[in-house]
A = this chain, B = another copy of it.
Amino acid sequence: MPRQPDDAYQELVSHLRQTELLSSCSALLGWDEQTYMPPGGAEHRANQLSLLSGMVHERATAPQVGALLDELGGSDLLAFPDSPAAVNVREARRDYSRAVKLPRKLVEELTRVASLAQQQWVAARKRSDFSLFYPWLDKMVALKREVAGAIGYGAGVPYDALLDEFEPGLTSAEVVRLFTPLRDALVELLSAIQGASRRPDRSLITRNYPVDAQRRFSQEAARQIGFNFDDGRLDETAHPFCSGIGPGDTRLTTRYDAHHFSGAFFGTLHESGHGIYDQGLNREAFGLPMGAAVSLGIHESQSRLWENFVGRSLGFWRHFYPGAQAAFPEALGDVSLEAFHGAINVVEPSFIRVEADEATYNLHILLRFELEQALIAGNLAPADVQSAWNETFTRYFGLTPPDDAQGCLQDIHWSCGLVGYFPTYCLGNMYAAQFFVAAQNDLGDLGAQFARGEFAALKHWLNDRIHRRGKQYRAQDLVKVVTGQSLSHTALVQHLRDKYSAIYGL
């Protein structure tokens, strides 16, 4: 019997699964590097990760994959574009055509440099000294420019080749089109807030919050909103993240500060949102596009949705506040629910992105988007990042970072080679706002559900509409399928206006 398209498809599926299985070993090594690896292990770890990334790349670019994709060209299997087989082949084709453009040496070098640069970033951030990190940023930017050149790009914008890795199909021109009206609306809203007469007291969240109690309280909240700790865990790292190791193994991290409630708590909810997405993927499709997240922007929509639309809402705290008062009697014993809700929603220019309020957060992203575009275009030298950061920050926020740890060294991303990643955070906020409106329309008064400690309906809605679909739709199409509308800034702006009108009495 001649070979059937179905055989080619099965062979492709098996190849993709094995590649992802190998790649998931790197994920565990990367997680360990940031959680438990002793400092002396850094060099060996870099060698391990470099070897694995090279092997993964070799598998991803194997001529066999190209041949299978060719063979599947006009197959009936792909007749329905939204069918699992068609989606898997479509995305495999995209990944393959990107991967073959990158020489294995470059991929290995990127991984090796990223692993070492991360260690240097940790050390530099600890001493708040950009000069310790700069040589590594320099290497990394050069490598990412090389990547952009190898991948290729339209419209003369090398940055677009990097952005496309995280948010497939999106260009920086489109990002600018989405971000510009958002920025204008935010500037207007911030101005209104600064002129408001009612002002919540932010100092409530910088009272004494014992770390052990924070650990218990955050973990319990993560559990209640739906993160499954049988299939995951929560650790502590310099920079919080979520890493999906594979089916049944999703790992979150956070960091605690005894004098800052919001950092760890909302950080944990944020990473839990990522984790709930990973745990909601179709396990049977592990290793295939149908079992993978759509894009980083959509991933971020899930984290921001749980962090902000759920976690910073009044309904959520109607349920959790008695427990918070019991856990932190010294800090919260004399604080009303409304005062606490105001405190966790104070809008105020601040230095650290991950601790920023929902409104100014987006400006932190605009700053990074601006700088990394310039870095990749070659208009900003890595050596000048510190001064460029401080100048741009002053322009956006009217403040100058007191040191590098609170300035250009605060984020791990560039050290890991994540350039073109930051815009997805702001996109995530926009997606989240639109999804949340659609969920409310379907599920009724979510605030009332949260107040009763009910989070399952929302979680299942997200599971069904987004998580279980894998990469069936590209991000821009998924938004339309789920919400009936193209992505825009309007739902986010409406959400912020409504929230801050209530809190600030605008």
Using a CB–CB distance below 8 Å, which chain A residues touch chain B?
A: 18, 21-22, 24-25, 28-29, 32, 35-45, 47-48, 51-52, 55, 228-233, 235, 245-249, 251, 286
5 A-B pairs with least C-beta separation: A41-B249, A40-B248, A40-B231, A44-B246, A41-B248
Q: Given the complex of chains A and B, what is the CA–CA distance between A197 and B166 in angstroms?
A: 77
Q: Given the complex of chains A and B, what is the CA–CA distance between A36 and B251 in angstroms?
A: 10
Between-chain CB contacts (< 8 Å), 29 pairs = A18-B51, A21-B48, A21-B51, A22-B55, A25-B29, A25-B52, A28-B28, A28-B29, A28-B32, A32-B32, A36-B235, A37-B249, A38-B229, A38-B232, A38-B233, A38-B248, A38-B251, A39-B231, A40-B231, A40-B232, A40-B247, A40-B249, A41-B245, A41-B246, A41-B249, A43-B248, A44-B246, A44-B247, A45-B246
Q: Given the complex of chains A and B, what is the CA–CA distance between A247 and B246 in angstroms?
A: 27
Q: Which of these, B22, B47, B228, contacts A40 with CB under 8 Å?
A: B228
Give the distance to chain B from A142, nearest Cβ to Cβ, in Å: 26
Query: Within 8 Å CB of A47, what residues of B?
Result: 21, 246
Q: Which of these, B25, B39, B230, B232, contacts A25 with CB under 8 Å?
A: B25
Give the distance to chain B from A244, nearest Cβ to Cβ, in Å: 10
A44 with B249: CB separation less than 8 A: yes
Q: Looking across the interface, which residue of chain B has its beta carbon closest to that of A27?
A: B48
Q: Given the complex of chains A and B, what is the CA–CA distance between A40 and B41 in angstroms?
A: 28
Query: Within 8 Å CB of A235, what residues of B?
Result: 36
Give the distance to chain B from A107, nearest Cβ to Cβ, in Å: 16
Query: Within 8 Å CB of A18, what residues of B?
Result: 51
Query: In the assembly, how many copies of this chain are there?
Result: 2
Q: Given the complex of chains A and B, what is the CA–CA distance between A18 and B58 in angstroms?
A: 15
A247 with B43: CB separation less than 8 A: yes
Query: Within 8 Å CB of A48, what residues of B?
Result: 21, 24-25, 28, 246
Give the distance to chain B from A333, nearest Cβ to Cβ, in Å: 29
B41 with A22: CB separation less than 8 A: no
Query: Within 8 Å CB of A249, what residues of B?
Result: 37-38, 40-41, 44-45
Instruction: Specify which of A43, A247, A248, A286 lies most central, judged by the most chain B CB atoms within 10 Å of its CB.
Output: A248
Query: Within 8 Å CB of A45, what residues of B?
Result: 246, 249
Q: Given the complex of chains A and B, what is the CA–CA distance between A38 and B31 in angstroms?
A: 14
Q: Looking across the interface, which residue of chain B has its beta carbon closest to that of A232?
A: B38
A38 with B230: CB separation less than 8 A: yes
Q: Given the complex of chains A and B, what is the CA–CA distance between A39 and B250 in angstroms?
A: 11
Give the distance to chain B from A67, nearest Cβ to Cβ, in Å: 22
Instruction: Specify which of A38, A45, A228 lies most central, judged by the most chain B CB atoms within 10 Å of its CB.
Output: A38
Query: Within 8 Å CB of A36, what residues of B?
Result: 35-36, 233, 235
Q: Which of these, B24, B29, B35, B231, contacts A38 with CB under 8 Å?
A: B231
Q: Looking across the interface, which residue of chain B has its beta carbon closest to that of A247?
A: B44
Q: Given the complex of chains A and B, what is the CA–CA distance between A248 and B42 in angstroms?
A: 8
Q: Given the complex of chains A and B, what is the CA–CA distance between A248 and B232 in angstroms?
A: 28
Q: Given the complex of chains A and B, what is the CA–CA distance between A349 and B393 in angstroms?
A: 71
Q: Given the complex of chains A and B, what is the CA–CA distance between A125 and B313 in angstroms?
A: 46
Q: Given the complex of chains A and B, what is the CA–CA distance between A79 and B24 in angstroms?
A: 45
Q: Given the complex of chains A and B, what is the CA–CA distance between A440 and B484 in angstroms?
A: 82
Question: Beyond the given A24-B48, A44-B248, A44-B286, could you list 14 further A-B residue pairs with CB under 8 A, ordered by the A residue number?
Answer: A21-B48, A22-B51, A28-B29, A28-B48, A35-B36, A36-B235, A38-B232, A38-B248, A38-B249, A40-B230, A41-B231, A41-B249, A44-B246, A55-B55
Give the distance to chain B from A52, nearest Cβ to Cβ, in Å: 6
Query: Within 8 Å CB of A32, what residues of B?
Result: 28, 32
Q: Given the complex of chains A and B, what is the CA–CA distance between A18 and B237 in angstroms?
A: 30
